[in-house]
Structure formats: structure tokens, C-alpha cells
């Protein structure tokens, strides 16, 4: 057919034409706009109206943001500065952020010691690296991660170096007792004995050991009172502690809730339901006021420590339910598979169940983290100076009385940076752990 | 300052007796610092500055007591308290003295088991309106919308006042002073009512303070003063007479500028001599040094100086002395004699 046809036409192309660029109106920004924004008369109208609205909004907000009042020293100063440049409609008074920047960051922490919280923040990221990016960091760094809570607490609160060391020794004591006792009785009982031994060490013996060691080698740095903590230093300290400890405690609680041992199960269910049934603010009030009355007068039970414990317990209860959701999503076959391999309970959890359950729970876990971090602002109600509490204190200064939006926008922006980073990291982790099947 | 105190009342009642009775003076001396409860921030009364130093009218009382007891106005640990935590903080012994513009009421004194050691500011509930409203008396406010903080005694006072005068109003409930300021400026209410000192401080922050006026009526009594726990009369005496020393000093013309000179040797006014410890030994009677009052006055000045520096007419808050003038000038500020 082709041959006969060839004689009847004048020209037959025997090579393919080179591929053409698609028309400009269908690709690139123009094409994108045509398909998404102007694909019909209704969409076009909506686009134009929305665009006008956004432009109008920016035109009104931008002059407010860019008001050139960075150097003002009081609200009246701001107003004079704006009047001087003929700014009629008013603008933001950013001088308050400049003047109170150290206070918003560190609270009443002594200015000459600011390097300590900063160093702790840097070390925090170093300690987090082997956890967050396990595939790109050497495993040995996990050792530093384990020491970090003690090192960080020592740097923040100061005092003698023997405090964190003896606290750390408590774990060593527990481990030694465990390995000795477990030769005689079963693992559950020896774990219990080991915990009791550690607690005895922390509550009674450690105090004398610290005294003794400090007398021999007085290695100490200037100590800082809890009352001097404030601003984002306080928020981050409480938030990071709660986040750090709530995940392991939450996992244990979730496992306990699914346990077949009635006592363990009852304890875990009771704890989770009690904590979840009570608002965080109530727990904070208990920490700040009730404990004060029940503890003997003169007891120095640090207020930040009390708040940290309450926040951690609160977060753990929520975490337990998130992890339990992940456990429930696993098929029965996974458990049976683990059993058929001859793994014991903890091996099965560690090698088969938890990796899958935690992967499923990542969005929920990170949501809980973000929620806890934002909940730290509630401590302003029990008169601790978190950023929002400080905003109130700053307004109580005669030169800044009447300033609202600037402080709230600033604090909101910082919180947004933290929470958004956490959320992005969780998405990265989900993508990385994506195995194609659930 | 007048938030409902049910939480404090529940927890404090009955339990306070447990810690009371301890000798607070010995504790303070042993500690070397006075734990003083203040607000978390109230314009003119207590606020931390950019360096974290506390200043204000209530803070002045704390510093004066610290100077009287320990000889050093800086030997104060300021414990910020909210309306909800203040009474527990005092009852549990977390603070030795609460100087947190707290209204002296029967139930707080008797039921919560505290001792009010005096009044350092006579306040009362007032009204603020925009000048454009054209009202000159609270009696003309029939039918007005009123911004009112919920859960405070101001709310009850307002209801009482309008009922007594047979008027109606429409409440606009708000939670904090900051919110009230915004609502009032935005025109959500015709009237804003809270303590007169708070109104003056709020008005001072407005862009055009001249467009707003405070009405002359004061509809409640709010005597604000420092307080201590029941059961330690010696400590109550010390704080009470420190406050009285500041008041007497103003009456007698002793200021932070001349107290050192006047206290160096006995002058010809015996009361000043007794106050400053150059004659007799009043301080020893309650276990303090003879120059305790001089130290208290040097800490931040006498009552009048504290007032002028923190909330007086030359500050942005601009409160007139009014009821808080010395009794010799028609006010209520009056100290028993030093004898």
C-alpha cells in the first residue's frame, strides 16, 4: 500500500520532525496560571477579586510592619517618631523587641552567663543529631546524647559538677544491682529491686556523696535560681524535657495498657485515663500551689522541676494513646511472626513491633510534641515568666504600657518557627521510612 | 486584684495555721533575703525593667522592709504571683510578705487567716468614658454599654451601683485589662470600669489621652495594702511599723535626701529623733537595729517620694494624691505616733 501511495503524492517526510517546545501558553508560569487561575469566567473573576483583596491587605499591613521605630525607647517615643515622618495611620513599635530581646529570650537569667543557655542549645542539636539523622551520624554519638540531659541541666542551673555526676551514678547503681540480682531471681523482680536501689541512691545517699565530693574537689560554676529562668529559655527547657521523656514513658505505658498482666494493665489504664481526664492547667496548679501546702515548710522542691514533671506526665499519657494507635494498626500476623521466630517479648517489640508501630504513629507523635511545646505557655498562669507572661510584665512598664500586637506577633513568629520545623522534620522522616507498603 | 479567690480560699483555709507561728524574722535573717510577693506586672505598682530589676510602688514597700530588717534594700527575692497564686504563696510560707495591691476585706483577713498591716493605697472603682459621649456624671450612664472584667468584685460593685440608682446597663464581658483597652478604644463599649488607678494608668497609654475622661464618682472602697500570715505578731509589727515609718517620715519632712544627715545626731524634734534612732531605742524593741527606719527611708524615700516616683503626677500614670494625701492635707494617710 505504501508503495502505490508514494507515487500519488508529491512529498513524503521520511524523518520525524524534532520535538517542539509546547506552546508558551500551556507551560511555565503562564500555563500554570491559565489552567489553575483563569480556566473559565467564574474562576477568572474569583482570581481577580482574591488578588485585589490580597494586594489591599498587604498595602495596609506592610506600612504598619515597616514603621522604622526600631530604636524607640518607649511607646510615646514611637508615636513621636511616626509623627515626625508624617505617618498618620500609625505603625508597629518594634523598639520594644529590641529593648527587651534578651529578656524575651532568657528571662532574668544573669546577663554575664547568657553563654550557658546558648551553649546548651548548640549541644542540644549535637545530641539530637544521632537520633534525628541516624543514617548520617556515627553511632558513637549516642553516648553524648545519653549524657546530655545531665550536662545540660548542670550548665543551665549551675552549681557543683557532682550533682549531675551522682544523678548519673544512680543509673549505674541501678544497672549494677540489676545484673547482680538477676542472677538469682527473674528479670521482673530484679528490675523492681534495681529501681528501688536507684531511688534510694537519689533520695538519700546522693546528697551525702555530693557533700563529700564537693569538700574534696569543689568543682562548681555559678548557680542560677529557677526563678531567674524566663522567656523562651523557660519554654524550651520545659518543652524539650517533656518531649524527651514523654516518648519513652508513653511507649512503656502503651505496652502496659496492652499487657496481659492485670496489675500492670490496671496501673497503666488508671494513669492514662486520670491524666487525660484532667486539664493541664489543673496539674500545673497542683504543682505550684497544692504541693506547696502539703510539703513541709522550707522544702525546696524546685518549681521548674515540678512543672516539668507535670508536663511530662501529661504528655506521656497522650503519647501512650498515640503509640497504642500504632500498635493497634499492626496486623496480628506481625505478632505471630515474631513468636514463630522464637523471639521473646522484648526482642519482638524491639525488632518487629515497635519499628512498624512507631512509623505509623509519626504524625500523631509529632502532633503531640507540638501541642506540648505550645502548652508550655500555660505556665504564665502560675506566675512563671514564659514569653506570654513576660509580655504582660513588659506591658506593666510605664514606657511600654499599651503595646500588644508587636509582642504577640514576635512571640507567635518564634513559636511558628519551632513548630513548623518539627512538622517538616516529621514529613521528611515519613518520606524516608516509606517502604511502599504499610 | 479582686479576682475570685475561691481556689485560694479552698486550699488556704485551715491549712495556714500549719506554717504560721514560725518566727518569720529569724527565717528572714537566717536567709539573708526577704521573699516578697508582688504582681506579675502592674503599671506603677510592680514591673521588671529591661535589666530585670523590679520597680514600682508595691516594690518600694518590699525594699523598705528588707532595708529595715537586713539593712540592704537589694536583699529582696521578688516572687511574682498572680491573682490565683498569691494567697497560697503567702499561706505556704513561700513569701514572707505579700505587697501585691490586695484589697483589705473581711473574709481575707478573717477567713483566709492573714493580717493586713496597713493601707498603702486607697483605691476605688471608677468609670472612664470618651469625652465625645458628653456625660459628666456616672448617674447619667443609664443604658450604657460597659466593659467589665468578669469574675471580679468590680462586676458586683457595678451591678449594685446601677441597681441602687435605678439604671440599666449592658455589660461587655472581658477577661484582662489588655483586652479591655482594645475593646474600649475600638468603641465596643461606652464605659470602661475598674479601679481608678488602673483607669488612669490605662488612659495614660492612649494615643490621645485628652479625648477620654474619668468620671468623678468612685463607687467602691478598695484599700490596698501589704499583708502577712496570721500568728506571727512580731513580724506583722515589723512590716506595719516600716510602712508607718515611711508615712511618718513624709509627715515629719524626713526624705531620702536628708535622712542620713538627720540620723547622724539627735536634732531638736524628739519624734524625728525617735524615728531615726538617735533618741531611745525603738528598733531594739522588735529585734532590729536602731537605724531600721532610717534604712527603710533611704531604700526608696518616704511615702510621698515613693508615690511621686512611681505613680505620682509627674509619671505617665499621673495619679493625684487625693485620698492618699497625708491627713494633714485632707487625705487618709495617717501613722500612729512613734513613741
Query: Between A296 and A42, whose confidence is greater?
Result: A42
Min Cα distance A73 → chain B (Å) is 11
Residues 81-120 of B with CB under 8 A from A: 81-82, 84-85, 88-89, 91-94
Count the Cβ atoms, other than its own, within 10 Å of residue A46: 13
Contact A393 B88 (CB under 8 A): no
Q: What is the structure's pLDDT at A297?
A: 62
Q: Does residue A114 belong to the interface with chain B, where contact is any CB pair within 8 Å?
A: no
Residue A393 with chain B: CB contacts under 8 Å: 40-41, 47-48, 80
Burial tier of A324 (Cβ tally within 10 Å: 0-12, 13-18, 19+): buried
- What is the band of B18 on the pLDDT scale with cuts at 50, 70, 90? very low
Q: What is the structure's pLDDT at A314?
A: 95
Residue B79 with chain A: CB contacts under 8 Å: 227, 383
Q: CA dist A187 to A23, A162, A181, A300, Å?
A: 73, 31, 9, 36
Across B216-240, average pLDDT: 93
Which residue among B15, B49, B207 sits closest to A79, beta carbon to beta carbon?
Answer: B207
Across A227-250, average pLDDT: 93
Across A115-136, average pLDDT: 90
Say which CATH class B125-220 falls into. alpha beta
Q: Does residue A293 belong to the interface with chain B, where contact is any CB pair within 8 Å?
A: yes
- Mean model confidence pLDDT for chain B: 87
Min Cα distance A124 → chain B (Å) is 27
Exposure string of B1-33, with b = 16+ CB inside 10 Å and e = fewer, is bbbebebbeebbeebbeebbebebbebbeeeeb
Q: Does the structure show a pLDDT above 80 at A231?
A: yes
Q: How far apart are CA A12 and CA B88, in angstroms?
A: 99
Q: What is the structure's pLDDT at A364?
A: 94
Q: What is the structure's pLDDT at A4?
A: 59
Among the ranges A384-398, B21-35, B58-72, B86-100, which has the highest mean pLDDT value?
A: B58-72
Q: Does the structure show a pLDDT above 50 at B19?
A: no
- What is the band of B1 on the pLDDT scale with cuts at 50, 70, 90? very low
Residues of chain B within CATH 3.40.190.10 domain(s) are: 6-122+223-329, 125-220
Give which of A254, A271, A415, A388 is closest to A319, Cα–Cα. Answer: A254
Q: Does the structure show a pLDDT above 80 at A88?
A: no
- What is the band of B7 on the pLDDT scale with cuts at 50, 70, 90? very low
Give which of B150, B215, B211 is closest to B177, Cα–Cα. Answer: B150
- Mean model confidence pLDDT for chain A: 87
Q: Does residue A88 belong to the interface with chain B, where contact is any CB pair within 8 Å?
A: no
Residue B35 with chain A: CB contacts under 8 Å: none
Q: What is the structure's pLDDT at B17?
A: 40
Q: How far apart are CA A227 and CA A224, in angstroms?
A: 8
Under 8 Å CB pairs connecting chains A and B tally to 104
Which residue among B91, B94, B205 sits closest to A401, beta carbon to beta carbon?
Answer: B205
CB B40 within 8 A of CB A385: yes
Q: How far apart are CA A261 and CA A269, in angstroms?
A: 12
Across A306-329, average pLDDT: 94
Q: What is the structure's pLDDT at A298?
A: 60
List the end-to-end C-alpha distance of chain B, in Å, as a whole number.
35
Q: What is the structure's pLDDT at B232?
A: 92
Q: Residues 6 or more apart from B182 whose CB is under 8 A from it?
A: A404
> What is the CATH number that goes with domain B6-122+223-329?
3.40.190.10
Q: How far apart are CA B41 and CA B242, in angstroms?
A: 24
Q: Which helix (H) or strand (E) holds A393?
A: helix A387-395
Count the Cβ atoms, other than its own, within 10 Å of residue A302: 12
Which residue among B15, B43, B82 sits closest to A383, beta carbon to beta carbon?
Answer: B82
Q: CA dist B100 to B47, B68, B300, B309, Å?
A: 11, 19, 17, 18
Work out the widest C-alpha separation in chain A, in whole angstroms: 113
Which residue among B80, B89, B205 sits closest to A75, beta carbon to beta carbon?
Answer: B205
Share of chain A above pLDDT 90, in %: 44
Which residue among A292, A385, A392 sits closest to B92, beta carbon to beta carbon?
Answer: A292
Could you report the predicted ipTM of this complex, rounded to two decimals? 0.81
- What is the band of A156 on the pLDDT scale with cuts at 50, 70, 90? very high
CA nearest A97 in B: which residue? B50
Contact A396 B42 (CB under 8 A): yes
Query: What is the rounded (10 degree) CA torsion for B147, B150, B154, B157?
Result: 90
pLDDT tens for each residue of A10-37: 888 888 888 888 887 777 888 888 888 8
Q: CA dist A163 to A124, A208, A231, A305, Å?
A: 20, 11, 26, 15
Q: CA dist B41 to A97, A244, A362, B318, Å?
A: 18, 32, 41, 18
Share of chain B above pLDDT 70, in %: 93
Q: What is the structure's pLDDT at A66?
A: 85
Amino acid at each position: 500500500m505504501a508503495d502505490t501511495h508514494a507515487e500519488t503524492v508529491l512529498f513524503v517526510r521520511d524523518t520525524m520532525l524534532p520535538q517542539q517546545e509546547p506552546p508558551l501558553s500551556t507551560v511555565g508560569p503562564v500555563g500554570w496560571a491559565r489552567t489553575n487561575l483563569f480556566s473559565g469566567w467564574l474562576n477568572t473573576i474569583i482570581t481577580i477579586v482574591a488578588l485585589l483583596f490580597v494586594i489591599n491587605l498587604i498595602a495596609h499591613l506592610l506600612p504598619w510592619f515597616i514603621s522604622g521605630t526600631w530604636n524607640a525607647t518607649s511607646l510615646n517615643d514611637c508615636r513621636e517618631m511616626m509623627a515626625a515622618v508624617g505617618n498618620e495611620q500609625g505603625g508597629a513599635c518594634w523598639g520594644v523587641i529590641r529593648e527587651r530581646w534578651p529578656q524575651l529570650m532568657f528571662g532574668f537569667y544573669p546577663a554575664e552567663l547568657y553563654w550557658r543557655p546558648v551553649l546548651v542549645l548548640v549541644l542540644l542539636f549535637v545530641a539530637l543529631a544521632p537520633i534525628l539523622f541516624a543514617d548520617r551520624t556515627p553511632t558513637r554519638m549516642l553516648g553524648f546524647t545519653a549524657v546530655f540531659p545531665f550536662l545540660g541541666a548542670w550548665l543551665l542551673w549551675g552549681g557543683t559538677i557532682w550533682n549531675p555526676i551522682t544523678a548519673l551514678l544512680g543509673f549505674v547503681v541501678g544497672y549494677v544491682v540489676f545484673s547482680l540480682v538477676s542472677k538469682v531471681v527473674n528479670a521482673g523482680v530484679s528490675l523492681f529491686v534495681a529501681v528501688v536501689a536507684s531511688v534510694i541512691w537519689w533520695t538519700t545517699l546522693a546528697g551525702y556523696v555530693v557533700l563529700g565530693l564537693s569538700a574534696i574537689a569543689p568543682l562548681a560554676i555559678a548557680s542560677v535560681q529557677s526563678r531567674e529562668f524566663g522567656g523562651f529559655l523557660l519554654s524550651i527547657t520545659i518543652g524539650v524535657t517533656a518531649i524527651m521523656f514523654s516518648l519513652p514513658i508513653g511507649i512503656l505505658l502503651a505496652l502496659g495498657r496492652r499487657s496481659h498482666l492485670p496489675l500492670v494493665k490496671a496501673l497503666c489504664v488508671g494513669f492514662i485515663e486520670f491524666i487525660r481526664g484532667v486539664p493541664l492547667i489543673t496539674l500545673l496548679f497542683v504543682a505550684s500551689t497544692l504541693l506547696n501546702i502539703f510539703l513541709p515548710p522550707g522544702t525546696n522542691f524546685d518549681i521548674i522541676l515540678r512543672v516539668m514533671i507535670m508536663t511530662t506526665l501529661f504528655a506521656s499519657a497522650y503519647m501512650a494513646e498515640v503509640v497504642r494507635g500504632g500498635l493497634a494498626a499492626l496486623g496480628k500476623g506481625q505478632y505471630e511472626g515474631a513468636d514463630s521466630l522464637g523471639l521473646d517479648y522484648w526482642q519482638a517489640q524491639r525488632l518487629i513491633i515497635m519499628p512498624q508501630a512507631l512509623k505509623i504513629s509519626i504524625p500523631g507523635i509529632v502532633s503531640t510534641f507540638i501541642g506540648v511545646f505550645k502548652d508550655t505557655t500555660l505556665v504564665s498562669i502560675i506566675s512563671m515568666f514564659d514569653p506570654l507572661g513576660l509580655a504582660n510584665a513588659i506591658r506593666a512598664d510605664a514606657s511600654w504600657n499599651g503595646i500588644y500586637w508587636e509582642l504577640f506577633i514576635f512571640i507567635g513568629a518564634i513559636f511558628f518557627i519551632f513548630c513548623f520545623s518539627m512538622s517538616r522534620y516529621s514529613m521528611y522522616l515519613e518520606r524516608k521510612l516509606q517502604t511502599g507498603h504499610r | 486584684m479582686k479576682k475570685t479567690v475561691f481556689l485560694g480560699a479552698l486550699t488556704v483555709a485551715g491549712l495556714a495555721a500549719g506554717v504560721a507561728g514560725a518566727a518569720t524574722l529569724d527565717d528572714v535573717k537566717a536567709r539573708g533575703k526577704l521573699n516578697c510577693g508582688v504582681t506579675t506586672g502592674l503599671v506603677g505598682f510592680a514591673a521588671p525593667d529591661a535589666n530585670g530589676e523590679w520597680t514600682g510602688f508595691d516594690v518600694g514597700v518590699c525594699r523598705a522592709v528588707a532595708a529595715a530588717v537586713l539593712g540592704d534594700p537589694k536583699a529582696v527575692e521578688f516572687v511574682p504571683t498572680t491573682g490565683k497564686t498569691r494567697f497560697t504563696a503567702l499561706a505556704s510560707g513561700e513569701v514572707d510578705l505579700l505587697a501585691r495591691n490586695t484589697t483589705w476585706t473581711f473574709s481575707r483577713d478573717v477567713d483566709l487567716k492573714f493580717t493586713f498591716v496597713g493601707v498603702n493605697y486607697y483605691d476605688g472603682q471608677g468609670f472612664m468614658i470618651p469625652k465625645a459621649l458628653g456625660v459628666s456624671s456616672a448617674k447619667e450612664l443609664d443604658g450604657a454599654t460597659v466593659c467589665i472584667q468578669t469574675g471580679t468584685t468590680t462586676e458586683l460593685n457595678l451591678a449594685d451601683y446601677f441597681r441602687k440608682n435605678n439604671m440599666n446597663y449592658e455589660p461587655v464581658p472581658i477577661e484582662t485589662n489588655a483586652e479591655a483597652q482594645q475593646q474600649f478604644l475600638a468603641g465596643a463599649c461606652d464605659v470602661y470600669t475598674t479601679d481608678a488607678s488602673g483607669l488612669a494608668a490605662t488612659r495614660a497609654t492612649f494615643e490621645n489621652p485628652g479625648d477620654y475622661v474619668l468620671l468623678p464618682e468612685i463607687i467602691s472602697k478598695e484599700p490596698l495594702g501589704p499583708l502577712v500570715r496570721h500568728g506571727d505578731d512580731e513580724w506583722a509589727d515589723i512590716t506595719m511599723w516600716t510602712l508607718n515609718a515611711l508615712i511618718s517620715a513624709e509627715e515629719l519632712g524626713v526624705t531620702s535626701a536628708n535622712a542620713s544627715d538627720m540620723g547622724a545626731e539627735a536634732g531638736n524634734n524628739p519624734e524625728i529623733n525617735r524615728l531615726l534612732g538617735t533618741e531611745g531605742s525603738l528598733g531594739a524593741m522588735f529585734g532590729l537595729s536602731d537605724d531600721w527606719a532610717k534604712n527603710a527611708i533611704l531604700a526608696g524615700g518616704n511615702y510621698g517620694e515613693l508615690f511621686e516616683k512611681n505613680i505620682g503626677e509627674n509619671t505617665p500614670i499621673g495619679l493625684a494624691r487625693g485620698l492618699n494625701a497625708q491627713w494633714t492635707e485632707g487625705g487618709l494617710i495617717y501613722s500612729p505616733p512613734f513613741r
